[in-house]
Structure 1
Amino acid sequence: MQRFILGGLTVFVMLSLGLFWLQGRAEVEKAAPLPLASVAPPDPQGVPSADLTDIEGPDLPEATEQTREQRRFGRYDRDRDGRITRNEMLSTRVDAFRKLDKDGNNLLTFEEWAVATVTKFDGADTNRDQSLTPGEFRKTAPPPAKPKPKPKCSCGS
């Protein structure tokens, strides 16, 4: 008895899939191009000339100059809404977590590892709305690199 029920359900599913396939195929065929016989040949008088001296294309798009901080903000703001959520800020840290867990035993939990990032986020989120504005995000920038000391001259004088 179970075989008959299972067979009936299988037939029903197959018929339903076939019906959806045919409906989708019909939609594609409605927008199919007309056969070439019904298309009129182009008018030879309306064909443009090959003289390109007077033709000008559109202006090239100009890239806006962004500051280093604006580019950094853009890398974190995945959905481009002008705010960085906690998940967006933590998403860039996943690879670093995997690098810390060298033996792959997952003894270092993500929450334990993310304490520094969460603390940094909470410190920057001054209005406590769980998202960072560009001004708040600026506070999370790494400190500027110290200049390297110049090597002493080893010339024999």
Structure 2
Amino acid sequence: MRILFGGLAAIALLVGGFFLIRAQQQQEDELAEIAAPPPEPQDDGLPFADPGALRGPAPPEATEMTREERRFARFDRNGDRIITREELLASRTKAFRALDKDGNNLLTFEEWAVATSDRFAGADADRNGRLSPQEFATTRPKRPVQRCKC
């Protein structure tokens, strides 16, 4: 019986050793794949081309925003490419408050008429009760001074 147990123990040690060596080889193979540095790129240098020999259409030029696009961007305060009612009316609140003399958030005809009459009187340089084209041109809203975008 002792010989039988000795033989089984020897076989078990051989099988265990075989699996142990096999597992160690697998780990070494996996580490070799992971630790291998990537191949270095070949240095081909920068491409060279004669600009006179180039064919095809010219690249598109950057265009400035059109006047309407700039106007749209002024109203679109949050930049979501959609103008809400609040965004549209926000530009008028300062002018409304200037016309609303009694501060009740209601613009009466009298308040509007006084402001319009004052504007007319300021533009009528010769005080004849009529506006010439030159006088009318002075009623055009003043453009704000462009600030430096430095």
Q: TM-score, normalised by structure 1?
A: 0.27
Task: Identify which of structures 1 and 2 has the higher relative contact order when contacts are C-alpha pairs closer than 8 Å and 6+ apart.
Answer: 1
Q: Which of 1 and 2 has greater Rg?
A: 2
Give the TM-score of the pair, scaled to structure 2.
Answer: 0.27
